[in-house]
Amino acid sequence: MTQYKPSGIFATLYMKLVIVESPTKAKTISRFLGKEYKIMASIGHIRDLPKSKIGVDIEHNFAPQYVVSPDHKAKVKEIKEAAKKAKEIYYATDEDREGEAISWHLTQILEQDPEKVKRITFHEITKQAILNALEKPKQLDMKLVEAQQARRILDRLVGYELSPFLWRHVKRGLSAGRVQSVAVRLIVERENEIKNFNSEEYWSIEGIFGTKDKNILEAKLQSISQKALDKMDIKNQEEADKILNECKKQAWKVSAIEQKRKSKQPPAPFTTSSLQQEANNRLSFSAKQTMTLAQKLYEGLEIGSEGQIGLITYMRTDSVNLAENFLQEAKNYIGREFGDKYTLDKPRTYKTKSKGAQEAHEAIRPTDPARTPDSLKGFLDNGLLKLYTLIWQRAVATQMPEAILNATRVDIGGGEYIFRATGQQVVEPGYLKLYPDQDKDKLLPELSENDALEAQDIKGVQHFTEPPARYSDATLVKALEEEGIGRPSTYASIISTVIDRGYVERDDKKRLQPLPIAFDVTELLMKRFPDIVDLEFTARLESSLDHVAEGTIRWEPLMQAFYGPFHKQLEIQEQAMTKESEKEAEGEVCTECGQPMSVKRGRFGRFLACTGYPECKSTRPLKGEAPPPQPEPTDEKCPKCGAPMVKKTGRFGPFLACSRYPDCKSIVNIEKPVKDQNGNPIPCPDCKQGTINERKSKKGKLFYSCSRYPDCKQAYWDRPNGEPCPKCGYATLLRKGKTMYCPQEDCKYKAAIELE
């Protein structure tokens, strides 16, 4: 019997609707499906907790009160209209907790039973992966939905209750977060280590020895009288000179040679964490930049005649598994390009080591190993190509043989003093042929035991111990992962959040430097709310969320176990700090009107203010508190009267003011350049000569404008992103840190930034 296929107007009633979260992903998928499918994007989360209130019913099992954001109301209407015409609806959002939650919110909007919906997931956006997923749809995983919901509610409870506490007792406008505050603590503690570090002097003895063939050998003093030297054993120049004088009397020869062959295994394929670390170390990409680029590679890009295709697998994962089809395809590619000697008889596999590994299906890899970086050079911009190359090389190299190295050690004897030289040579490159590391060959000359050597130069070299380095994106991600803080999808947003909220900035080496307010807030939280910034407590909470995702515990009891003690502690500390402030102000009266004084906190710390405000505006420093900073002299001249300008700090930050104030009231804003993910100033897209600077209006609202004002009057209310629009190439803006869009009216490009 021939099956009836509707056509014309009736065909729309039998449409199959596929909903994803990203327009780019929708465009890529549409290439693989027929005309009977309609692909729509929700543009990220269509529902969330309200911004104007806490949005959690604490009295009734912490029930969330979700609302559709104003930005999504038109999109919701559009999806509902399409759903009415659809015979089948497939939810194809990402295969993690966030993706599962987005699909669940969509079912609520469309009033569908979550147990009867068709949920499809795929680890890569390729035709075969999409078709396989459509053949085997599954139910929504409500355990993942509940785990995401629990995290969202936890973060809302902390943010909405602890942030106002900081406003009252530290500074208005501050924010606190369950994970962000722990990250700030790590950065602050590292800075304190650096500040408190006491550098110690030590010396090394280094020699250059010549062979009979006029080769040279560089070596360091290893031992004296058969006792190995520790790094700090030679403490000063006097001790170093004593050893140098003794060495000058010695005759030198090769006392021992040791050669070892060692093998070096290729590193595991990338997880989210290792990709962020390696991209930071090798490419100097920030974690956020890495994830933004990886998102584009995953969702799909235009590649010539192939059209729009996904180039890598899903980029939020902590698995190191590789699919069987990739292993075979990689072997075929390696055999063709490098020969059979570079292939493996049996595929190499790896085991996941990260704490609390979750929702992981496969490592990050190219969707097709035959699609080499060279083949993409004309289609990807520089950043995308660099990241793709890194992912491609790492994944393919895992299926190549180990590298074989020759490690050589030469001991040079002269009485009781032994110098040592070390070298390394690659014998069989193996995987290093494709994925070279930073180690380079260091060859030693051909030598035999008892060969005489001539000391051409032996000298003492002064050193000083150095403090630990500030965290980079790579080292902070590594620390968070080791401590079990956050999860793959959150590392990039944690770093972005602490920077955007004014706790941390990047120094000239792009490392994370805490600002003064970070020390104040961290000290307060550690004293008043130790659990909130405790590493073990936060890690246990993360582990509990994993248990919710696994279905071993319910989310409501977890909320109660956390919120009860947290809220009680908040009440206790509110009362305690109020009493402390009252005690500090006890007996203090206003010298102008005689009314009692109270303790207030301003931008320069705490101070005493008259309780008769606003009729009496008298203030004075609190005992023990540092006085407000004095104006700093500068080389700038006043544009009105020519007098020197001084640097002052006001409610909206630092500014330049005329030193003749109040006779001359001229002020000039200090421009703060807006930087891209690499820390480079963002050029003005209009005049292309100036750079975009951050400024504040008279009412204190941030805006962004060209440094060449008034010659160039380009300005935006939203922050420039430093990323070109994929549709028209114009500079995109970032709205509320969640939506990247093009400001060109005739373009209207918009994309959600999903980095939770």
12, pLDDT greater than 60: no
- The two tokens of residue 477 are 């991600």
pLDDT surpassing 50 at residue 727:
yes
The CA–CA distances, whole Å, from 451 to 26, 212, 250 equal 71, 8, 15
| 119: nearest Cα among 97, 98, 104 | 104
pLDDT at 2 (0 to 100): 38
Per-residue confidence (pLDDT) for residue 679, from 0 to 100: 72
Which tokens is 308 given? 């729009």
If you ran DSSP here, which 8-state letter would residue 313 be given? Answer: -
Q: What is the pLDDT of residues 460-486, one digit of tens each?
A: 999 999 999 999 999 999 999 999 998
Show Cβ contacts of residue 498 under 8 Å, excluding neighbours closer than 6 positions: 180, 183, 184, 187, 504, 512
Give phi and psi for 407, each to the nearest 5.
-105, 125
Q: pLDDT tens digit string along 55-81? A: 999 999 999 999 998 889 999 999 999
Dist. CA 472–CA 368, nearest whole Å: 32
- Cβ atoms of 355 and 484 within 8 Å: the answer is yes
Q: Locate tokens 């004088």: which residue?
A: 245
Q: Whole-angstrom Cα distance, residue 30 to residue 225?
A: 75
**Predicted pLDDT at 442:** 84
Query: In this model, does residue 285 exceed pLDDT 70?
Result: yes
Of the pLDDT bands very low, low, confident and very high (cuts 50, 70, 90), residue 737 is: low
Cα–Cα distance measured from residue 118 to residue 106, given in angstroms and rounded to the nearest whole number? 12
**Mean pLDDT confidence for 603-619:** 81
The pLDDT of residue 605 is 66
Q: And the tokens for 694? A: 């951050």
Q: Is the pLDDT of residue 628 over 80?
A: no
Q: What is the pLDDT of residue 311?
A: 97
Per-residue confidence (pLDDT) for residue 58, from 0 to 100: 95
Rounded to whole angstroms, the Cα distance separating 573 from 165 reads: 9
| CA dist., res. 257 & res. 261, Å (int) | 14
Question: Percent of the chain beyond pLDDT 90?
Answer: 62
Predicted confidence band at 756 (pLDDT cuts at 50, 70, 90)?
very low
CB 426 within 8 A of CB 262: no
Using CA atoms, how far apart are residues 202 and 461, in angstroms rounded to an integer? 9
Residue 74 to residues 70, 450, 491, Cα–Cα distance (Å):
8, 85, 32
What is 103-117 written as a DSSP string?
A: HHHHHHHTT--TTTS
| Whole-number Å distance between alpha carbons of 558 and 563 | 9
State residue 6's pLDDT score: 46
Report the chain's mean pLDDT, rounded to a whole number. 88
Residue 443's pLDDT is: 84
Residue 263 has pLDDT above 70, yes or no: yes
Q: Are the beta carbons of 609 and 600 closer than 8 angstroms? A: yes
Nearest to 738 by CA among 112, 15, 43, 4: 43
**Residues 636-650, mean pLDDT to the nearest whole number:** 85
CA geometry: angle 573, 578, 584, nearest 5 deg: 125
Angle at 513 between CA 172 and CA 438, to 5 degrees: 150
Instruction: Report the helix count and the strand count for the chain, using DSSP H and E.
Output: 16, 34
For the cut 90, the answer to whether the pLDDT of residue 739 exceeds it is no
At 493-504, the pLDDT tens digits run: 999 999 988 899
User: What is the reported pLDDT for 738?
Assistant: 64
Q: d(Cα 417, Cα 243) in Å, to the nearest integer?
A: 9
CA separation for the pair 359, 546 (Å, rounded): 9
**Closest of 222, 215, 206, 264 to residue 409, by C-alpha:** 222
Q: Which two tokens stand for residue 659?
A: 């030193």
pLDDT in tens, 26-53: 999 999 998 899 999 998 899 999 988 9
In the predicted structure, residue 15 carries a pLDDT above the cut 90: no
In this prediction, residues 608-614 reach a mean pLDDT of 85
pLDDT recorded at residue 7: 47
Q: Which residues are catalytic?
A: 314
Inform me whether the pLDDT recorded for 412 exceeds 90: yes
Cα–Cα distance for residue pair 94/121, rounded to 1 Å: 7
Distance, CA of 599 to CA of 186 (rounded, Å): 30
Q: Which of residues 7 and 354 earns the better pLDDT score?
A: 354
- Specify the range with the lowest mean pLDDT, choosing from 80-84, 116-120, 413-417, 650-654: 650-654
Query: What integer is the mean pLDDT of 361-377?
Result: 94
C-alpha pair distances (Å), 313 with each of 230, 329, 610 = 47, 15, 63
**DSSP annotation of 728:** T
Residue with token string 């895992």: 398
Among 296-305, 343-352, 366-375, 431-440, which is the least confidently predicted range?
431-440
Question: For the ranges 403-412, 469-478, 630-639, which has the lowest average pLDDT?
Answer: 630-639
CB 229, CB 264: distance < 8 Å: no
Phi and psi for 741 in degrees, rounded to 5?
A: -145, 160
Burial tier of 98 (Cβ tally within 10 Å: 0-12, 13-18, 19+) = buried
pLDDT score of 434: 95
For every residue of 14-53, DSSP letters joined together read: GEEEEEES-HHHHHHHHTTS-TTEEEEE--S-SEE--SSS
Q: CA–CA separation, 301 vs 290, rounded Å?
A: 16
Q: 119-153 burial string, b = 16+ CB within 10 Å, else e?
A: bbbbbbbbeebbeebbeeeeebbebbbbbbbbbbb
CA–CA distance, 726 with 749 (Å, rounded to integer) = 8
Buried b (16+ CB within 10 A) or exposed e, 1-39: eeeeeeeeeeeeeebbbbbbbbbbbbbbbbebbeeebbb
In this structure, what token pair is assigned to residue 319?
């698995």
The pLDDT of 245-258, averaged and rounded, is: 93
